[in-house]
Amino acid sequence: MDPVLRTDRLVLRRLDDVDAAFLVELLNEPSFLRYIGDKNVRDDEGARRYLAEGPKASYARYGYGLLLVSTLEGEKAGMCGLLKRDWLPDPDIGFAFLPRFWSRGYAYESAAAVIDHGRRTWGVGRVAAITSPDNEPSIGLLKKLGFRFEREAVAPGGGGEVKVFASEPASAG
């Protein structure tokens, strides 16, 4: 599988069925369940269903979607990418990493590269981000990426209260 993106320390490529076991681990991390939600992925079959309905459907429809983030040594560390939700006008950035890869700057490095690539390749302008109101690691990361708090909202489908952030393209200030 060809990489979509490379950074100094990371390789990003489209998620595929070979990543099922990794997704079972990531999507059941306490931090993922707490801050993103329960995707009901408990085994490889559930992961393949999640891939088909989520990332793969997004690649087919929009070109972009959540990507697998690996180290240069090939360790699967997390995922990061642009999503398009029906209830938000702009694409939003998503990220989640296994705890053993936290605090190395990987989330920042991959998110910055994904946003830059989205603007150059997919014509993305404004990028949104949504977080639980108490997700301090994510809010801190978004601020470091240059996002500004915009508003509070209630995510449809039982997503609860969220904070909405936005990043404008450089030319728009």
Closer CB to ligand COA, 56 or 163, in the complex = 163
Q: Does 36 bind ligand COA (CB under 6 A)?
A: yes
Question: Binding to ligand COA (CB under 6 A): which residues in 126-165?
Answer: 131, 135-138, 140-141, 144
Of the candidate spans 57-65, 67-75, 90-98, 120-128, the one that interacts with ligand COA by CB under 6 A turns out to be 90-98
Residue 65 backbone zone (phi > 0: left; psi -120 to 50: alpha; other: beta) = left
How near is the Cβ of 108 to ligand COA at its closest, in Å? 4
CB 12 within 8 A of CB 6: yes
**From 97, 114, 115, 147, residue interacting with ligand COA (rule: CB under 6 A):** 97
Cα 21 from Cα 130, distance rounded (Å) = 26
For the CA atoms of 28, 103, 63, 1, the dihedral, rounded to the nearest 10 degrees, stands at -80
CB 66 within 8 A of CB 39: no
**Site residues for ligand COA per CB under 6 A:** 31-32, 35-36, 95-97, 102-108, 131, 135-138, 140-141, 144
